[in-house]
Amino acid sequence: MPRTSKTSVDCSVDGCGRSPGQISHQRNGTLHRALVVLLGSCDVCVGRQFLFFLRGKAVESKKAEMQAAMKDAVALLHEYAPLDPAKIQAAKDAGNLSVSSPAPDGTVSVTIKNYLKAGDQVAITLDGAKNALKGFSISSYVGDAAAKEKSPVAAQVTFGMLPDGTVYTAKETLDLSAQSLKVATENTGYKKQG
């Protein structure tokens, strides 16, 4: 099924925020139009950095810092997916798992605290009426517990359902607040082939 992914980046440097564009995927899975998101691609940020003489090595250093932060955050999130049943059981045994009462719309939330690291949290939202996953969120940090305030990582995934009942990833958001970087990807435009 062809789909369109819209990726937006909020670099939040002095209130700047840009939505760079869209990526279209062909039926064979290749990219129709590629999008590269790098710090410095925002004209306002580049202009401000130039005005304050923060170009050259300073911009390269900031770009490298942002890329390293993204790489570390993505590696951390890969430690959470897929969830390990043994770690879920350990959290339950320690009293760190809670299940909410069903909401009027049938939504149930499962929250797991201290899943991988002390102070982290994984929240899973389920549609009890349709017996389907609605989304999940992860709140954690890169590094050890001492770095918790310095390098927080938040991720949220929302799932959608096609008319035929197929569940797909509708929206993904990764937020690195210490670096003032937020990346959101939205998947839309699914069409039946043929």
pLDDT at res. 100: 92
pLDDT of 192 strictly over 50: yes
pLDDT at res. 108: 94
Residue 81 lies in a domain: yes
Q: Which two tokens stand for residue 75?
A: 């590696």
pLDDT band of 194, cuts 50, 70, 90: low
Residue 162 lies in a domain: yes
pLDDT at res. 36: 36
pLDDT at res. 6: 56
Q: In this structure, is the dihedral angle defined by the CA atoms of residues 48, 51, 54 and 60, taken in order, positive or negative?
A: positive
pLDDT band of 188, cuts 50, 70, 90: confident
Residue 142 lies in a domain: yes
Q: What is the pLDDT of residues 77-125, one digit of tens each?
A: 888 888 899 999 999 999 999 999 888 988 999 999 999 999 999 999 9
Q: What is the pLDDT of residues 35-56, one digit of tens each?
A: 333 344 455 554 454 445 445 5
pLDDT at res. 57: 61
Residue 179 lies in a domain: yes
Q: State the SS3 of the chain.
A: CCEEEEEEEECCCCCCCEEEEEEEECCCCCECCCCCCCCCCCHHHHHHHHHCCCCCHHHHHHHHHHHHHHHHHHHHHHHHCCCCHHHHHHHHHCCCEEECCCCCCCEEEEEEECCCCCCCEEEEEEECCCCEEEEEEEEEECCCHHHCCCCEEEEEEEEEECCCCCEEEEEEEEEEHHHCEEEEEEEECCCCCC
Total number of domains in the chain:
1
Residue 193 lies in a domain: no
Residue 136 lies in a domain: yes
Domain range enclosing 139: 3-188
Residue 194 lies in a domain: no
